[in-house]
Structures are given as structure tokens and as C-alpha cells.
Amino acid sequence: MPRHGIWRTHLTILLVYGLLAVLLTWPTVTHLATHLPGDGGDDRLLLEPVVGEACSADPAPSPLFSAAMFYPIGINLAFYTLTTLNALTALPLTLTLGVVAASNLHMWFTFVAGGYGTFLLARYVLASGLSAERRRVLLPSSSPLLLTPDSLLPTPSFAAAALAGGFYAFASSQLFYVSLGQFNIASKPLVPYTILFVMKSRRDLQSLRWPALAALFLIMQAWAEMTYASFLAVFIALYAVYEVGAWCSD
């Protein structure tokens, strides 16, 4: 596929994910600056910490303290379910459009980013599986182990990878947590990127780029929601055991 055609396809996928994010959270788009998805419970509590302080006329002395919650006593947020990364990345929108609009726009961004990351991961996994036999046929035993899957075979079906991204981004559990206003549990867009970079680290053992990116995205996911970071740590451990076992059996 020509390079301009590939870019057009990727942009189309991003656009489709964006439209689905808006449609599946309807009618949020019609009340962008005034309403949040949720039942009026956790959505307000998760909106206030860190992000809300940026727009406060009387900001707290620390981002880990909120005077608005449990007023007038306030609350220490050190062990609260913060979405610190979301607060930082949405800060420009918060300062210009307000807290509610920024939260809604960032929510749609997490849908799109998570779906696109899964799309990239699915393409990579499909290419790796399809090219395994050809690598054994084409490469002599003395050749390096690394060959990028996309360089050996035509790109796998974009439709299959795009469908996988849609299933991840708009899973029923994801939409359920958004509908409850539990934006911390819905913040998992960096999971597929971390897994992708971990898998690429295995296939390029001489490069530090992929392990560094995997570590960076793991840390950022921890700042967004620690639960998914712990899941990723378990995955990385199991994946390492699997790869060691596969290497020992060869």
C-alpha cells in the first residue's frame, strides 16, 4: 500500500473511533461544558481533585489536598483514586474551556487513544504470527533474530486490527464505568502501547528504545490508574516466563 494510502487509512480509523466515542456517550456532546457522564456520585468526586484546583480561585497549598471535598475540613488525596496523568494532559483544556468540557474531551481522547493502541498491537501480533514461518525459511541460522514483521509480509488486514481496537476501546465494561462516572477505572488507553513495546523489546534485544518506551508507558499508566499498571506488571512477568520457556525448549 502506498505511504499516503497508509496514512489516510490510519486517519480514517482515528476518525471512526472518535465518532464512535461521541455517539456512544450521547448526549454528552450536546452538553459539553455543563454535564458529565455519570450518576452524580463518583463523577463529581473524581473531577475535583487535581484538575479542579487548576481553575480554583483559592487553590490548595498542595495538589494532593482538596478543600472542596469534605468542606470545610478538606481531605488529603495522597491515597485517593487520582487520575494525575489525565489532570496534567488535560490542563491546557481545563484552563481554557473549563473543568467539565476538558474532562469530556479527555474522556473521548482516551477512547480513541486506547482503540488506536490496540489496533497497532493487533497489527503487530498478526504480522509476527504470519511471518514466523517465512522467517525460518528465508533466514540462515547465522542471521540476526530480528526482522520487523511488516518488512517480510504485506500488512495484515487493517479491518481485523481496527475491529480489535474497537472492541477494546468500547467494551461494555469501559462504557459501564464511564456511565457511572468512574473515570479512573475507564482510564486504560496506555495498556496496549505498553504491551506493544514489551513485545518489541523481545524482538530487538540490542536496542534500549523499546524497553525505555515500555517503562515510560507503564509509569504513565500508573499515574492514570494504578490498577491497570499492576495488571501490566503481571503480564510482563508472565510474558518473560513464557519467552524464557520458549527459548529453553528450542
Per-residue pLDDT of 176-231, as tens digits, reads: 888 877 777 778 899 999 999 999 998 877 889 999 999 999 999 988 888 899 99
Q: What integer pLDDT is reported at residue 137 of this predicted model?
A: 45
Query: Is 199 found in the same domain as 100?
Result: no
Distance CA 32, CA 35 (A): 6
Q: What integer pLDDT is reported at residue 194 of this predicted model?
A: 96
Query: Is 202 found in the same domain as 78?
Result: no
Query: Is 143 found in the same domain as 29?
Result: yes
Query: Is 22 found in the same domain as 146?
Result: yes
Backbone angles phi, psi at 183, to 5 degrees: -70, -25
The grid coordinates of residue 76 equal 488529603
> Would you say 239 and 218 are in contact if contact means Cβ atoms under 8 Å apart?
no
Model pTM score:
0.78
Query: Is 127 found in the same domain as 27?
Result: yes
Query: Is 236 found in the same domain as 152?
Result: no
Q: Smallest Cα–Cα separation from 47: which of 35, 58, 59?
A: 35
Q: Smallest Cα–Cα separation from 81: which of 109, 54, 113, 42?
A: 42
Q: Is pLDDT above 50 for 246?
A: yes
Q: What integer pLDDT is reported at residue 212 of this predicted model?
A: 95
Domain boundary among 147, 180, 213: 180
Q: To the nearest whole percent, how much of the chain has pLDDT over 90?
A: 33
- Domain span at 213: 190-250
Specify if 185 maps to a domain: no
Average pLDDT over residues 66-79: 72
Query: Is 146 found in the same domain as 120?
Result: yes
Q: Please enumerate, as own/partner, the contacts of 63-66 that have beta carbons within 8 Å and a separation of 24 or more.
A: none
Distance CA 197, CA 217 (A): 9
Worst-scoring range by mean pLDDT, 86-90, 151-155, 232-236, 240-244? 151-155
> Would you say 178 and 186 are in contact if contact means Cβ atoms under 8 Å apart?
yes
Place of cell 497497532: 120
47-51, 56-60, 222-226: range with highest mean pLDDT:
222-226
Place of cell 501490566: 232
Query: Is 138 found in the same domain as 25?
Result: yes
Query: Is 170 found in the same domain as 194?
Result: no
Query: Is 78 found in the same domain as 34?
Result: yes
Q: Smallest Cα–Cα separation from 113: which of 171, 176, 188?
A: 188
Domain boundary among 161, 180, 199: 180
pLDDT band at 250 (very low <50, low <70, confident <90, very high): low
Query: Is 99 found in the same domain as 214?
Result: no
Place of cell 475535583: 48
Domains identified in the chain, total number:
2
> Would you say 106 and 90 are in contact if contact means Cβ atoms under 8 Å apart?
yes
User: Length of the chain in residues, anyone?
Assistant: 250
For residues 133, 137, 139, 140, the Cα torsion angle rounded to the nearest 10 degrees is: 130
Domain boundary among 180, 206, 239: 180
